[in-house]
Amino acid sequence: MKRSSVINAMRLSAMVIMLCSTAPALAQSKFGTTAAPFLGIGMGARATAMGGAFAGQADDISALYWNVAGIVKSDKIRVGFGHTQWLVNTQINWAGATIPAGVAGTFGVAVTSLNYGNMEVTTLSNPDGTGETFSASDLSAQLSWAKSLSDRFSVGISLKLVNQNIFRTNSTAFALDVGFLYDTGLLPNGLKLGASVSNFGTQMRLDGEGLTVNFDQTGGRESGVNSNIPARLLTDQYNLPLIYRIGVSYDIVRDDQNRFTVAIDSAIPQDNAQTLNVGGEYAWKNIFFLRAGYNALFERDSEKGLTFGAGLRYNVASSVVLRFDYTFQTFGRLNPPQWFAVGLEF
């Protein structure tokens, strides 16, 4: 490699690291100021094991979440499913598929579901419960498209429908994700850059029968007035959790037997402080994988932290590949989520 290329690569890497690391200590958290916070939970066992540092890597089915431009990285049909017992007895299920369509690009679909389970109804007059139960759930469904504009540069876009449902009330919004990936060609194994914007969309407002009340417009100050007029409470509107990501990844080692990839992401969510995610993946013969990372570095009072995972890639037939991935995610004082994922390529 020419000396000038090496210098340019070093300058580019330094610039990306500066962008990734500036301001986390100065940023203020706005946690709880947006709707549908489940959209900020990273999907995919592999990406989670790498600490969520995946915007610059994004080369498997979970690219549908992290950086949609990455779904062009395979010329095979891909399907994947992920599951975890999330925090406080909640469950997350994720499913996605991508289909290459030649010069038209690559198309994809994905569904994310967060189920809170059944909870007991309590009121002021019945603080111990009324005997009734209610449920709550979040859902996101997306259609995606990506295309390689050159052998090194790809772009992608996703349209999402977002829905939240709790005790006879619900809210719906529409959102847009945009991403790009660029293989700079710098350094021996090609330094890769990625960036994405997620959840740019409409506001959400809860509505439904659960907000119906009996209303006395006189406040009980006048007699002979109907004090049981049906009325509906009006809630505020909240933005979706907009997230900016910029990431870089590089294969420090890459030969016929081994590959070791390191990745760094900076995540800038609208409803929280800017954070840094770091991770790495070791691959042996592209069959067995070990991964580790750290999520939300520099975030104050964060319960997130170290992540560990492993994966297995098995050729079922000459053109059919089966993948299994597992991740253990530490979460401070809360029970650590364990992610399970299975994928198929054909």
Q: What angle do CA 300, 305, 308 make, to 5 degrees?
A: 170
Q: Measured in whole angstroms, how far is the alpha carbon of residue 200 from the centre of its chain?
A: 14
- Note the pLDDT of residue 7: 43
Over residues 26-43, the mean pLDDT reads 78
Task: Look up tokens 């090496």; give the residue.
Answer: 6
The percent of residues in the chain predicted with pLDDT above 70, rounded, is 88
The predicted structure's pLDDT at residue 1: 43
Both tokens of 322, joined, read 């089966």
* 65 phi, psi to nearest 5 deg: -95, -50
Query: What sign results for the dihedral spanned by CA atoms 28, 32, 35, 41?
Result: positive
Q: What is 3-204+239-345's CATH superfamily? A: monomeric porin ompg (2.40.160.40)
pLDDT above 50: residue 82: yes
Task: Inform me whether the pLDDT recorded for 22 exceeds 80.
Answer: no
pLDDT, residue 30, reads: 65
Residue 225 has pLDDT above 80, yes or no: no
Averaged pLDDT, 95-120: 96
- Segment 19-47 mean pLDDT: 72
What confidence score (pLDDT) does residue 230 get? 84
Say what the pLDDT of residue 223 is.
65
Decide which of 331 and 273 is more confident: 331
CA 87 from centroid of its chain's CA atoms: 16
pLDDT classification of 47: cutoffs 50, 70, 90: very high
Least confident of 64-78, 120-134, 189-203, 237-251: 120-134
Q: What is the mean pLDDT of residues 314-339?
A: 93
Distance CA 166, CA 307 (A): 31
- Is residue 224's pLDDT more than 70? no
Q: How confident is residue 24, by pLDDT bands cut at 50, 70 and 90?
A: very low
pLDDT at residue 23, as a whole number: 41
Indicate whether 251 pLDDT > 60. yes
Range with the largest mean pLDDT of 8-17, 67-76, 227-236: 67-76
Give phi and psi for 313, each to the nearest 5.
-120, 125
Name the pairing type of β-strands 288-297 and 275-284. Answer: antiparallel
Q: Of residues 207 and 123, which shows the higher confidence score?
A: 207
More confident site: 189 or 222 = 189
Q: Looking at the predicted structure, is the pLDDT value of residue 188 above 80? A: yes
Over residues 192-217, the mean pLDDT reads 90
- Provide mean pLDDT across the span 77-106: 96
Evaluate if residue 149 carries a pLDDT over 60. Answer: yes
Q: What is the pLDDT of residue 150?
A: 94
Integer Cα distance of 70 and 88 in angstroms:
32
CA distance 187 to 304: 32
User: Each residue of 2-21: pLDDT tens digit?
Assistant: 444 434 444 444 444 444 44
Return the percentage of the chain with pLDDT > 90, whole number. 68
pLDDT (mean) for 35-39: 94
Name the pTM for this structure. 0.87
What's the chain's average pLDDT?
88
Cβ proximity of 304 and 295 under 8 Å: yes
H or E element in which residue 16 lies = helix 3-21
